[in-house]
């Protein structure tokens, strides 16, 4: 039985089609990251699972029970969910403990039991010592912990998180990320985690669902998404790859007036396509041959450097050992490894 099962969900706001035929099965206890660019429909999808937004069509089941579908309309508070938003949504006039206790009051729990549960939930997020603090005297990370404890205190079977770390600085993000991962393995809660940060999705998730314009592009493990992207969009979004539209022939790829020699495994390709190359697979300024390109910027990264080359209407990014090179110089660039997708660029998607 799936933890969450979405079947052919459609949702529009007026003429704007926000979610278009989304089907997705999330296992019980699975940690699924929903990843995609701004406006692709992530929050809308999460809110439909929660029951805060009503799909135009399709069915939603949680732990085998249909909560939305023909003849079924279970309200949010009876779906057995916890939810954490980007804006902490912590009540300013209640102490930390009272904030966390609130859902238990709604559930009608007796005081003594509620107090014990609140203490336990604050322990999960390491906030016991601050139970009597008021929210204005807490840091962003502490507020986010309160929100997390409040979402977990009712021991939901499913936890929905919408960009819960995006308001935090890098160090706090790391720390809470680790905390969420630990909580997840401890509590066995099914988690859906919305983010547009691919690093966060990679670090946390069992599987990542990559979404673009209201549709799923690929649902896979982080490893497979990275090594075997199903579409140029996934390669660009998840691996930060360069996408070049052009034509293959005679062992080369022609794009925006430049000619790139293809690595042996791709050299048999013919016809129009999209060449996908990660920045670290573009070799700059070494060896024989290579395509001469004009450097527009060099960013020193410590043990490596990023090189940027304008090509047509895009910027080619390469990452490699730091070289002495200045903007305006012409450097040879070689494709060491890449993937070719057939068809014109941008790749057309079925049904669009
Ligand atoms: N209540 C609404 N009325 C009209 N349009 C809406 C409404 N809510 C969302 N939209 C539109 O639906 C689209 C998807 O919005 P959604 O909030 O789901 O995106 P998102 O993937 O969460 O983006 P972000 O990463 O920026 O949070 C956007 O184009 C948005 O403008
Ligand atoms: Mg959103």
State the total domains in the chain.
Answer: 2
In the prediction, which pLDDT does 351 show?
36
Q: How far, in Å, from the CA of 282 to the mean position of ligand 2?
A: 34
CA distance 281 to 23: 34
pLDDT tens profile 210-249? 999 999 999 999 999 998 999 999 998 888 899 999 999 9
What are the beta bridge partners of residue 190? 158
pLDDT tens profile 130-140? 999 999 999 88
Assigned token pair, 131:
């139970």
CA distance 330 to 333: 9
Assigned domain for 265 exists: yes
329 and 207 assigned to the same domain: no
pLDDT tens profile 174-184? 888 888 888 88
Q: Which atom of ligand 1 is nearest to the CA of 196?
A: 25
Percent of the chain, pLDDT > 70?
Answer: 97
* Residue having the nearest C-alpha atom to atom 19 of ligand 1: 39
The binding-site residues of ligand 1, defined as CB within 6 angstroms of any ligand atom, are 13, 16, 18, 36, 38-44, 196
Q: What is the CATH number of the domain that holds 254?
A: 2.40.50.140
Model confidence band, residue 348 (pLDDT cutoffs 50, 70, 90): very low
CB atoms < 10 A from the CB of 118, how many? Answer: 25
In the prediction, which pLDDT does 126 show?
87
Q: Which ligand is nearest to the CA of 18?
A: 1
Percent of the chain, pLDDT > 90?
Answer: 72
Residue from 12, 14, 17, 18 whose mutation best tests the ligand 1 pocket (most atoms within 8 A of CB)? 18
Range of the domain at 285: 241-342
Assigned domain for 298 exists: yes
Round the average pLDDT of the chain to a whole number and report it: 91
* Residue having the nearest C-alpha atom to atom 1 of ligand 1: 13
pLDDT tens profile 104-115? 988 889 999 999
- Where is average pLDDT lowest: 82-86, 247-251, 344-348? 344-348
194 and 252 assigned to the same domain: no
Q: What is the mean pLDDT of residues 76-99?
A: 89
Query: Residue 51: phi, psi to the nearest 5?
Result: 90, 10
Pairing of strands 158-162, 190-195: parallel
106 and 212 assigned to the same domain: yes
In the prediction, which pLDDT does 346 show?
58
28 and 177 assigned to the same domain: yes
Nearest Cα neighbor of 28 from 65, 77, 71 is: 65
Q: Give the domain-ending residue among 229, 257, 289.
A: 229
CB atoms < 10 A from the CB of 23, how many? Answer: 13
Q: What is the CATH number of the domain that holds 6?
A: 3.40.50.300
The enclosing H or E element of 310 equals strand 305-311
* DSSP annotation of 111: H
Q: Give the domain-ending residue among 194, 229, 264.
A: 229
CA distance 27 to 249: 44
Q: What is the mean pLDDT of residues 148-155?
A: 90
CA distance 53 to 319: 43
pLDDT tens profile 33-69? 999 999 999 999 999 999 999 999 999 999 999 999 9
Assigned domain for 235 exists: no
Assigned domain for 205 exists: yes
Instruction: Say which residues have a Cβ less than 8 Å from residue 336's Cβ, sequence separation at least 6.
Output: 263, 281, 282, 283
47 and 192 assigned to the same domain: yes
Report how far Cα 32 is from the mean position of its chain's Cα atoms. Answer: 9
CA distance 294 to 178: 42
């Amino acid at each position: 039985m799936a933890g969450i099962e979405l079947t052919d969900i459609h949702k529009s706001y007026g003429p704007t089609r926000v979610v278009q035929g989304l089907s997705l099965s999330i296992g019980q206890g699975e940690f699924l990251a929903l990843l995609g660019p701004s406006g692709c429909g992530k929050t809308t999808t999460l809110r439909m699972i929660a029951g805060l937004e009503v799909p135009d069509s399709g069915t939603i089941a949680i732990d085998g029970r249909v909560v939305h579908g023909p003849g079924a309309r279970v309200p949010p508070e009876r779906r057995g969910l916890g939810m954490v938003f980007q804006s902490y949504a912590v009540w300013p006039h209640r102490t930390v403990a009272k904030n966390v206790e609130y859902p238990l009051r709604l559930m009608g729990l007796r005081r003594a039991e509620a107090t014990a549960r609140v203490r336990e939930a604050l322990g999960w997020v390491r906030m016991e010592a601050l139970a009597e603090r008021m929210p204005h005297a807490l840091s962003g990370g502490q507020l986010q912990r309160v929100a997390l404890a409040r979402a977990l205190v009712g021991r939901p079977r499913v936890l929905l998180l919408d960009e819960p770390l995006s308001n935090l600085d890098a160090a706090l993000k790391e720390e809470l990320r680790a905390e969420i991962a630990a909580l997840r393995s401890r509590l066995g809660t099914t988690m859906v985690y919305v983010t547009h940060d691919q690093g966060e999705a990679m670090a946390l998730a069992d599987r990542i669902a990559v979404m673009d314009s209201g549709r799923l592009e690929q649902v896979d493990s982080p490893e497979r998404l990275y090594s075997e992207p199903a579409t140029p969009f996934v390669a660009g979004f998840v691996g930060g790859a360069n996408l070049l539209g052009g034509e293959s022939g005679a062992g080369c790829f022609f794009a925006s007036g430049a000619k790139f020699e293809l690595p042996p495994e791709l050299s048999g390709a013919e016809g129009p396509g999209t060449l996908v190359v990660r920045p670290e697979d573009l070799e700059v300024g070494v060896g024989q041959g290579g395509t001469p390109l004009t450097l527009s910027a060099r960013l020193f990264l410590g043990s490596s450097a990023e090189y940027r080359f304008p090509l047509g209407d895009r910027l080619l990014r390469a990452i490699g050992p730091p070289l002495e090179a200045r903007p305006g110089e012409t450097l040879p660039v070689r494709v060491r490894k890449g993937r070719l997708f057939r068809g014109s660029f941008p790749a057309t998607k079925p049904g669009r």
